[in-house]
């Protein structure tokens, strides 16, 4: 068999367990993973005979193959998965830990089963009951401390009682029952519990934790409070010289006086993105910090495009960046470009050469790479010679890469003589063919800050190594010098935000585009339905810190829920419809049911939906066989219909040729006379058909870029279940006329947003986040 035929066979084999074609192709690129996975699938198929490996087992086989360090116990683990003895990721993780600790020992079946929870199934009802017991146990303390109570203690007790329960479902259940007990958070709840005061030395009256270069995290304050006045140890305008590390020259006080006369003592900041990609969640912190600091202190903030590399800049990025800044609620005082100052920057470069601080160098780019490149033999060339050569660079008399202009200084990281100008024969987005020499970031950034009279140059921590070069260059040219302040980057787990890596995700088909709702670009979050207020609230909770912050997505999702709970009107939708015919209701009868848009405050609006002879419910809301703890519809158990005022009782279940239930016939009784049912379910009648897209994490591992966690690279870590498309869901008529990005809470399911793919013929909804409760539960 030739190599291409083997590849095709492997591709078919991987797709047979539920992998997408794209995921299967990516897996084939990882030879060691492919070999283990093929062995596992073949073993499983041999054990199952004519029965094929289902998708759930296939997902576990793939997860096992990607995490198994030694194939010694491959056959044993495959058997456990194939025979459904291991049926959850939690059990698989325990199984992998178990065999890892016994690589040279035989497996004792009973010991293994006890350690891995084989045969144990935890139902949502069990979790509900266990959470209820734990909350009742701590009820008094919860009522006293409210949301300041450590909810982790509650979850820990439930996990101790139900070891094999899904932690996410436990958290959702705890959140829901706590909400039912305490009600929505008040303003007092949102204020974080102040830290216990530390022993203070005389004169130190404020209980603040001062971060490097002055950044402070003040607990329990809004972002505006954190950024206002004394909350940060930033310098006052005009008092730059009081800042640690600031370079004072004989002209400093004169330049500061001129600066104050021009600005009137106003705070001036800037947000300076490169227009070569789409903004992501990390940029949201930068936007909030720069615009928020200016706003909190009655200042102004510029949106300045750092457009010094014409090869990578596109119109869509310029437009997309401004769109996202304004979407987050900020209006730039002025939109500027580094290219606005190209002529001034060129004149300053000539001045820098004349002052003996820069020279034209002929070393090639490859010679300058590495940690210790050789010093330039042209460093001491005559000033006049460099001036002539720089003018020739400007006139286009050299090839790209043949010469550069370099500054005579050593950066904090030891890099010597950074490049100030290089040649690029690429038309510029704003200036066209006017220039063929373009300034670098190290040269441009501080000078544009000075030209625009920025008072506080706020940047992320990695630019700390450039602070000394920032001050050196501005002072070398005898210009007003702003103060650079650093803050910590905001990172999220289970994602990548690098432009290069997102391009790879798009090019390989792992995601559709930069705004794919599984990404954490701002355009993707908007498309998924995240409100801008929620993103800003998230940035406030992360706080103004200098230390780099790595946060889990569920903290952002929590902020989203809080906003949508107040802003998203309710509707009813059925994702997996089951037809229900009401036998004691005439087919011509139709009742209009009034439903509050916001049940907690009916004054905010009411909508009506029809209730007719035929309705649709979720397939999961009916079971033919009664199970302990199940509270919805069964042959022996009626169920209530939310808002309708009716209770339905099963008369007959109609099945197709394969034995699948396709329709229910029920009788209907007014809830005023019927015995109170154990549960109420949602329903739709005369609904609209819609498409619903359900999103999960894009990556399987917390840190997909970490080679120790994902040896095959981030592209090998794509979650095959990250998007589920439900093409024929049903939704009630209240959503008719919805526009793109309109948001709803689909009762008992989650929060949803109208996708831009919506047409006049069909609505498309993205699930934004789940409800706090388990979506499959009452």
Between CA 288 and CA 142 the distance in angstroms is 34
One-character DSSP codes across 422-438 = EE--S-BTTTBTS-SEE
Place of tokens 């002025």: 334
Q: Judging by DSSP bridges, how do beta strands 570-571 and 743-746 pair with one another?
A: parallel
- Which position among 38, 67, 424, 499 bears the catalytic label? 499
Name every residue whose Cβ is closer than 8 Å to that of residue 603 and which is 6 or more positions away in sequence. none
Do the Cβ atoms of 144 and 155 come closer than 8 Å?
no
Is 499 annotated as catalytic? yes
Helix H or strand E segment including 61: helix 55-67
Tokens of 481: 């010098």
Between CA 384 and CA 245 the distance in angstroms is 34
Is 316 annotated as catalytic? no
Is 364 annotated as catalytic? no
- Which position among 415, 489, 504, 512 bears the catalytic label? 489
One-character DSSP codes across 86-137 = S-SHHHHHHHHHHHHTTTTSPPPHHHHHHHHTTT----HHHHHHHHHHHHHH
Helix H or strand E segment including 591: strand 590-596
From the number of C-beta atoms within 10 Å of its C-beta (0-12, 13-18, 19+), residue 414 rates as exposed
Phi, psi of 328 (to 5 degrees): -75, -5
- Which position among 125, 145, 191, 274 bears the catalytic label? 274
Sign of CA dihedral 323, 326, 331, 337: negative
Sign of CA dihedral 132, 137, 143, 146: negative
Name every residue whose Cβ is closer than 8 Å to that of residue 498 and which is 6 or more positions away in sequence. 705
CA distances from 313 to 275, 318, 735 (A): 5, 8, 40
Give the bridge partners for 595, in sequence order. 607
Do the Cβ atoms of 504 and 475 come closer than 8 Å?
no
How many other CB atoms are there within 10 angstroms of residue 309's CB atom? 19
One-character DSSP codes across 431-487 = TBTS-SEEE-HHHHHHHHHHHTT-SEEEEEGGGGGGHHHHHHHHHHTT----EEEEE
Catalytic residues: 274, 489, 499
């Amino acid at each position: 068999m030739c190599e291409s035929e083997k590849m095709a066979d492997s591709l078919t084999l991987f797709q047979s367990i539920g992998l997408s074609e794209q995921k299967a192709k990516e897996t084939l690129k990882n030879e060691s993973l492919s070999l283990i996975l093929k062995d596992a699938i073949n073993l499983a198929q041999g054990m199952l005979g004519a029965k094929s490996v289902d998708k759930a087992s296939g997902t576990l086989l793939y997860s096992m193959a990607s995490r198994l360090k030694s194939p010694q116990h491959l056959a044993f683990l495959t058997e456990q998965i194939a025979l459904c003895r291991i049926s959850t990721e939690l059990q698989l993780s325990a199984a992998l830990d178990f065999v890892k600790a016994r690589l040279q020992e035989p497996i004792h079946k009973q010991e293994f089963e006890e350690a891995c929870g084989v045969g144990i199934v935890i139902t949502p009802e069990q979790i509900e009951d266990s959470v209820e017991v734990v909350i009742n146990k701590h009820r008094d303390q919860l009522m006293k401390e409210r949301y300041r109570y450590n909810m982790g203690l509650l979850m820990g007790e439930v996990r101790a009682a139900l070891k094999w329960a899904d932690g996410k479902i436990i958290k959702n259940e705890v959140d829901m029952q706590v909400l039912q007990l305490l009600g929505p958070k008040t303003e007092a709840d949102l204020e974080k519990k102040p830290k216990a005061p530390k022993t203070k030395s005389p004169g130190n009256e404020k209980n603040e934790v001062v971060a490097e270069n002055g950044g402070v995290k003040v607990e329990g304050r809004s972002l505006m409070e954190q950024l206002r006045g004394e909350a940060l140890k930033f310098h006052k305008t005009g008092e730059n010289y009081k800042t640690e590390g600031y370079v004072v020259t004989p002209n400093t006080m004169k330049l500061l006086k001129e600066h104050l006369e021009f600005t009137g003592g106003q705070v001036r900041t800037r947000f300076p993105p490169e227009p070569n990609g789409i903004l992501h969640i990390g940029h949201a912190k930068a936007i909030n910090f720069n615009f928020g600091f200016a706003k909190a202190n009655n200042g102004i903030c510029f949106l300045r495009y750092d457009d010094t590399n014409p090869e990578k800049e596109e119109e869509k990025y310029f437009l997309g960046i401004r769109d996202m800044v304004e979407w987050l609620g900020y209006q730039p005082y002025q939109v500027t470009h580094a290219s606005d100052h190209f002529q001034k920057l060129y004149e300053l470069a000539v001045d820098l050469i004349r002052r003996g601080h820069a020279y034209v160098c002929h070393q090639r780019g490859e010679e300058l790479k590495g940690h210790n490149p050789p010093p330039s033999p042209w460093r001491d060339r005559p000033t006049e010679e460099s001036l002539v050569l720089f003018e020739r660079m400007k006139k286009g008399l050299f090839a790209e890469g043949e010469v550069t202009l370099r500054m005579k200084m050593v950066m904090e990281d030891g890099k010597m003589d950074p490049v100030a100008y290089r040649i690029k024969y690429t038309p510029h987005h704003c200036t066209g063919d006017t220039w063929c020499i373009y300034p670098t970031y190290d040269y441009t950034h501080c000078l544009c800050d000075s030209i625009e009279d920025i008072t506080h140059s706020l940047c992320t921590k990695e630019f700390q190594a450039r602070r000394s070069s920032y001050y050196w260059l501005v002072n070398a040219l005898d210009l007003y010098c702003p103060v650079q302040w650093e803050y910590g980057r905001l990172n999220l787990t289970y994602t990548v935000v690098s432009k290069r890596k997102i391009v790879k995700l798009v090019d390989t088909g792992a995601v559709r585009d930069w705004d794919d709702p599984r990404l954490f670009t701002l355009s993707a979050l908007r498309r998924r339905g995240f409100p801008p207020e929620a993103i800003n609230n998230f940035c406030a909770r992360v706080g103004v810190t200098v230390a780099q912050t790595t946060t889990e997505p569920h903290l952002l999702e929590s902020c989203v829920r809080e906003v949508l709970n107040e802003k998203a009107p309710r509707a009813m939708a059925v994702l997996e419809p089951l037809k229900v015919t009401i036998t004691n209701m005439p087919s011509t009868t139709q009742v209009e049911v009034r439903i509050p848009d916001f049940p907690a405050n009916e004054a905010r609006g009411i909508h009506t939906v029809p209730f007719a002879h035929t309705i649709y419910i979720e397939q999961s809301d009916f079971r033919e066989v009664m199970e302990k703890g199940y509270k919805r519809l069964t042959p022996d158990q009626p169920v209530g219909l939310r808002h309708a005022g009716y209770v339905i009782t099963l008369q007959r279940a109609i099945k197709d040729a394969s034995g699948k239930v396709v329709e229910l016939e029920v009788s209907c009784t007014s809830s005023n006379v019927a015995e109170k049912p154990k549960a109420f379910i949602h329903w739709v009648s005369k609904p609209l058909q819609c498409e619903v897209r359900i999103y999960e994490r894009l990556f399987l591992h917390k840190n997909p870029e970490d080679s120790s966690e994902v040896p095959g690279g981030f592209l090998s870590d794509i979650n095959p279940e990250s998007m589920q498309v439900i093409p024929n869901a049903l939704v009630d008529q209240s959503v008719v006329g919805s526009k793109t990005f309109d948001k709803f809470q689909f009762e008992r399911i989650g929060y949803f947003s109208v996708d831009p793919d919506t047409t006049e013929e069909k609505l498309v909804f993205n699930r934004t986040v789940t409800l706090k409760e388990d979506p499959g539960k009452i």
